[in-house]
Amino acid sequence: MNNSSRRAFISASVASFAWLVTGGRASGAASAITAGAPCKTKGQERTVKGVTYICRSAKGKLVWRKAPATVQEQVVTVRVLESAALAVGETKIVDVPVPSGGTTGVVVTRIQTGITALAVACTHASYPVARVGNELVCDLHGSKFEPATGAVVNGPAVRPLLRYEASESNAGVYVTIRS
Protein backbone atom coordinates (compact mmCIF):
# COMPACT_ATOMS: atom_id res chain seq x y z
CA MET A 1 0.00 0.00 0.00
CA ASN A 2 1.54 3.35 -1.05
CA ASN A 3 1.29 6.58 1.00
CA SER A 4 -1.64 7.94 -0.99
CA SER A 5 -3.79 4.82 -0.65
CA ARG A 6 -2.78 4.51 3.02
CA ARG A 7 -4.05 8.07 3.65
CA ALA A 8 -7.30 7.29 1.81
CA PHE A 9 -7.73 4.11 3.85
CA ILE A 10 -7.13 5.96 7.16
CA SER A 11 -9.49 8.76 6.17
CA ALA A 12 -12.26 6.29 5.30
CA SER A 13 -11.68 4.37 8.54
CA VAL A 14 -11.93 7.55 10.64
CA ALA A 15 -15.15 8.55 8.87
CA SER A 16 -16.66 5.10 9.45
CA PHE A 17 -15.67 5.20 13.11
CA ALA A 18 -17.22 8.67 13.54
CA TRP A 19 -20.42 7.42 11.91
CA LEU A 20 -20.55 4.46 14.29
CA VAL A 21 -19.80 6.57 17.38
CA THR A 22 -22.36 9.28 16.55
CA GLY A 23 -25.00 6.90 15.24
CA GLY A 24 -24.80 8.60 11.85
CA ARG A 25 -25.19 12.15 13.15
CA ALA A 26 -21.78 13.03 11.76
CA SER A 27 -23.11 12.51 8.23
CA GLY A 28 -25.01 15.81 8.28
CA ALA A 29 -28.15 14.00 7.13
CA ALA A 30 -29.94 14.65 10.46
CA SER A 31 -31.24 18.01 9.31
CA ALA A 32 -33.23 16.30 6.54
CA ILE A 33 -35.45 14.28 8.90
CA THR A 34 -39.20 14.71 8.68
CA ALA A 35 -41.99 12.49 9.96
CA GLY A 36 -42.61 9.74 7.44
CA ALA A 37 -39.17 9.98 5.80
CA PRO A 38 -37.35 6.65 5.49
CA CYS A 39 -34.80 5.66 8.13
CA LYS A 40 -32.41 2.73 8.44
CA THR A 41 -32.12 1.53 12.03
CA LYS A 42 -35.21 0.63 14.04
CA GLY A 43 -35.27 2.39 17.42
CA GLN A 44 -32.68 5.00 16.43
CA GLU A 45 -33.44 8.51 17.73
CA ARG A 46 -32.56 11.90 16.27
CA THR A 47 -33.44 15.37 17.52
CA VAL A 48 -33.84 18.11 14.94
CA LYS A 49 -34.74 21.67 15.98
CA GLY A 50 -36.00 20.46 19.35
CA VAL A 51 -38.19 17.69 17.89
CA THR A 52 -37.17 14.10 18.60
CA TYR A 53 -37.83 11.46 15.95
CA ILE A 54 -37.68 7.69 16.40
CA CYS A 55 -37.11 5.24 13.59
CA ARG A 56 -40.13 2.91 13.64
CA SER A 57 -41.55 0.18 11.52
CA ALA A 58 -44.76 1.11 9.69
CA LYS A 59 -46.44 -1.01 7.02
CA GLY A 60 -43.26 -2.99 6.45
CA LYS A 61 -41.01 0.07 6.11
CA LEU A 62 -38.76 1.91 8.53
CA VAL A 63 -39.78 5.55 8.79
CA TRP A 64 -39.16 8.46 11.16
CA ARG A 65 -41.98 9.20 13.59
CA LYS A 66 -42.16 12.05 16.09
CA ALA A 67 -41.46 10.80 19.60
CA PRO A 68 -44.30 11.41 22.05
CA ALA A 69 -43.66 14.42 24.28
CA THR A 70 -42.37 13.43 27.69
CA VAL A 71 -44.64 14.50 30.49
CA GLN A 72 -42.89 15.92 33.52
CA GLU A 73 -44.14 14.34 36.73
CA GLN A 74 -45.47 16.87 39.22
CA VAL A 75 -45.22 16.23 42.93
CA VAL A 76 -46.93 18.01 45.81
CA THR A 77 -46.21 17.28 49.46
CA VAL A 78 -48.60 18.89 51.92
CA ARG A 79 -48.77 19.03 55.71
CA VAL A 80 -52.32 17.82 56.27
CA LEU A 81 -52.55 17.37 60.04
CA GLU A 82 -50.71 17.98 63.26
CA SER A 83 -49.37 14.65 64.52
CA ALA A 84 -51.19 15.08 67.82
CA ALA A 85 -54.50 15.29 65.97
CA LEU A 86 -54.34 11.65 64.84
CA ALA A 87 -54.30 8.96 67.50
CA VAL A 88 -53.44 5.32 66.77
CA GLY A 89 -56.39 3.68 65.02
CA GLU A 90 -57.94 7.03 64.13
CA THR A 91 -58.88 8.08 60.58
CA LYS A 92 -59.40 11.58 59.21
CA ILE A 93 -60.39 12.65 55.74
CA VAL A 94 -58.51 15.70 54.46
CA ASP A 95 -58.47 17.71 51.24
CA VAL A 96 -55.08 17.81 49.54
CA PRO A 97 -54.22 20.05 46.57
CA VAL A 98 -53.27 18.12 43.43
CA PRO A 99 -50.47 19.33 41.15
CA SER A 100 -52.84 19.73 38.19
CA GLY A 101 -55.18 21.98 40.20
CA GLY A 102 -58.06 21.53 42.61
CA THR A 103 -58.04 19.17 45.56
CA THR A 104 -58.62 15.50 46.24
CA GLY A 105 -59.91 13.76 49.35
CA VAL A 106 -57.40 11.63 51.21
CA VAL A 107 -58.15 9.17 54.02
CA VAL A 108 -55.35 9.48 56.57
CA THR A 109 -55.09 6.76 59.23
CA ARG A 110 -52.57 6.23 61.99
CA ILE A 111 -51.74 2.55 62.41
CA GLN A 112 -49.31 0.95 64.86
CA THR A 113 -46.46 1.18 62.36
CA GLY A 114 -47.06 4.67 60.99
CA ILE A 115 -49.41 6.64 58.77
CA THR A 116 -51.35 5.49 55.71
CA ALA A 117 -52.93 7.76 53.11
CA LEU A 118 -55.59 6.45 50.72
CA ALA A 119 -57.73 8.09 48.06
CA VAL A 120 -61.21 8.76 49.38
CA ALA A 121 -62.77 7.72 46.06
CA CYS A 122 -64.18 4.19 46.02
CA THR A 123 -62.63 2.16 43.18
CA HIS A 124 -66.06 0.90 42.11
CA ALA A 125 -67.64 4.17 40.98
CA SER A 126 -65.69 6.90 42.81
CA TYR A 127 -68.20 7.59 45.60
CA PRO A 128 -66.36 8.79 48.72
CA VAL A 129 -65.72 6.24 51.46
CA ALA A 130 -66.11 6.98 55.17
CA ARG A 131 -64.73 5.30 58.29
CA VAL A 132 -67.30 3.08 59.99
CA GLY A 133 -65.93 1.02 62.86
CA ASN A 134 -62.76 -0.71 61.67
CA GLU A 135 -63.50 -0.34 57.97
CA LEU A 136 -63.80 2.25 55.23
CA VAL A 137 -67.31 1.92 53.83
CA CYS A 138 -68.77 3.14 50.57
CA ASP A 139 -72.46 3.82 51.09
CA LEU A 140 -73.38 3.85 47.42
CA HIS A 141 -73.16 0.09 46.75
CA GLY A 142 -71.71 -1.24 49.99
CA SER A 143 -68.02 -1.85 49.24
CA LYS A 144 -65.76 -2.06 52.28
CA PHE A 145 -62.02 -1.46 52.50
CA GLU A 146 -59.31 -2.07 55.07
CA PRO A 147 -58.10 1.35 56.39
CA ALA A 148 -54.43 0.39 56.80
CA THR A 149 -53.90 -0.91 53.26
CA GLY A 150 -56.95 0.04 51.23
CA ALA A 151 -57.54 -3.64 50.40
CA VAL A 152 -61.07 -4.66 49.46
CA VAL A 153 -62.95 -6.38 52.29
CA ASN A 154 -66.30 -6.57 50.45
CA GLY A 155 -67.26 -5.77 46.84
CA PRO A 156 -68.59 -4.85 44.42
CA ALA A 157 -65.27 -2.97 44.26
CA VAL A 158 -62.45 -5.28 43.22
CA ARG A 159 -59.44 -2.93 43.30
CA PRO A 160 -57.90 -1.53 46.47
CA LEU A 161 -58.11 2.17 47.23
CA LEU A 162 -55.31 4.19 45.64
CA ARG A 163 -52.42 4.72 48.06
CA TYR A 164 -50.45 7.92 48.49
CA GLU A 165 -47.12 8.42 50.20
CA ALA A 166 -47.52 9.51 53.81
CA SER A 167 -44.84 10.62 56.22
CA GLU A 168 -44.47 12.28 59.59
CA SER A 169 -41.93 14.89 60.67
CA ASN A 170 -41.75 18.10 62.74
CA ALA A 171 -44.91 17.03 64.60
CA GLY A 172 -46.89 17.02 61.36
CA VAL A 173 -48.42 14.48 58.97
CA TYR A 174 -47.54 14.91 55.30
CA VAL A 175 -49.13 13.45 52.15
CA THR A 176 -47.39 13.38 48.79
CA ILE A 177 -49.42 13.35 45.59
CA ARG A 178 -47.90 12.81 42.15
CA SER A 179 -49.54 13.48 38.81
Count of Cβ atoms closer than 10 Å to residue 110 Cβ: 23
Asked whether position 125 contacts ligand FES by CB under 6 A, the answer is yes
Asked whether position 140 contacts ligand FES by CB under 6 A, the answer is yes
Which CB sits closer to ligand FES, 24 or 105? 105
Q: What's the order of all strands across the beta sheet hosting 45-48?
A: 45-48, 51-58, 61-66
Nearest alpha-carbon partner for 176 in 159, 161, 158, 162 = 162
3-state secondary structure labels for all residues of 57-68: EECCEEEEEECC
Contacts of 54 (CB under 8 A, 6+ apart): 43, 44, 45, 64, 65, 66, 67
Asked whether position 122 contacts ligand FES by CB under 6 A, the answer is yes
Asked whether position 151 contacts ligand FES by CB under 6 A, the answer is no
Which CB sits closer to ligand FES, 47 or 134? 134
Asked whether position 138 contacts ligand FES by CB under 6 A, the answer is yes
Residue 115 Cβ, how far from ligand FES at the closest point, in Å? 24
Which CB sits closer to ligand FES, 96 or 138? 138
Q: Which stretch binds ligand FES (CB under 6 A): 28-36, 52-60, 80-88, 118-126?
A: 118-126
C-alpha span between 68 and 62 (Å, rounded):
17
Q: Which residues pair with 105 in a beta bridge?
A: 95
Query: Which of residues 124, 130, 146, 153 is near ligand FES by CB under 6 A?
Result: 124
Asked whether position 127 contacts ligand FES by CB under 6 A, the answer is yes
Contacts of 87 (CB under 8 A, 6+ apart): 110
Query: Which of residues 157, 166, 175, 177 is near ligand FES by CB under 6 A?
Result: 157
Q: Which stretch binds ligand FES (CB under 6 A): 12-20, 24-32, 107-115, 133-141?
A: 133-141
